[in-house]
Amino acid sequence: MRDLHGKTALITGASRGIGLAIAQRLVDEGARVCVTARRSEALAEAVDALGGAEHAIAVAGKADDPEHQATAVARTIEAFGSLDVLVNNAGVNPAYGRMLDLDPAAFRKVFEVNVISALAWVREAHKAWMGEHGGAVVNVASVAGLGPADMIGAYAASKAALIQLTAQLADELSPLIRVNAVAPAVVKTSFAAALYEGREEKVAAGYALGRLGVPEDIAGAVAFLASADAGWMTGQTLVLDGGLLLKSGV
């Protein structure tokens, strides 16, 4: 395992699923974490699971709320003395269907949370700590952002934008701040349940490794990108797909 002792991370969308698994992996590797999400009750449970106040704090709020962003960053630094790692994991996908049929308001919400708020979190972290001290940013994108995605085009477009945002910020913030992304395929979480529930075996057959992802698969890669082991890596998107693209010939 990499050594993240003395480091502090803020992870958005971290009360469950991939976000909570990332927080747990970073804590296991020695970091202190701030976890954010909308529901305070779920966050309290997450903090307990992470080992309590010595290892984790929680700040409830909406990922795209500027006041919440500023409060979470400030409380992280107040509690642990730094903000070395930012993981933009919060995401939504309320729009399902052909692009021309989507409600423009839903499409706009997808971009507000998945792209614009990711930039806002980076801006807040940069202003409060990273601009002077440096750090690492990891954005959780998706393989859906690498090509057409049937019936989830708005989500796919937002993740493509997040991948581009990753490269753009890496260029603008170097050399002090590294910015990378991960692009998972289907991971077994409640967020992605509609993509595999009731037909998991059939869906998994399209993956070279014969199974869908689990949150821990993503957490390990994020911990790598957050660590000094990835110290010569920025602007990259690491595909974590169990061989899905390999099987599809992309």
| pLDDT tens, residue by residue, 41-86 | 999 999 999 999 999 999 999 999 999 999 999 999 999 999 999 9
Domains of the chain: residue spans and CATH: 8-248 (3.40.50.720)
Whole-model pTM?
A: 0.96
The answer to whether residue 101 scores a pLDDT higher than 80 is yes
Short-list 36, 41, 31, CA closest to 5: 31
Strand partners, 178: 136
Measure the CA–CA gap between 152 and 99, rounded to whole angstroms.
8
DSSP per-residue codes, 57-102? EEEES-TT-HHHHHHHHHHHHHHHS---EEEE--------B-GGGS
Whether the pLDDT of residue 1 is over 70: the answer is no
Q: Rounded to the nearest 10 degrees, what angle do helices 215-226 and 17-28 cross at?
A: 50
Q: Is 95 a residue whose pLDDT tops 90?
A: no
Cβ–Cβ under 8 Å, residues 55 and 32: yes
pLDDT tens-digit readout, 196-216 = 888 989 999 999 999 999 999
Secondary structure (3-state) at 34: strand
Residues taking part in catalysis: 155
> What's the chain's average pLDDT?
95
Helix/strand/coil for 140: strand
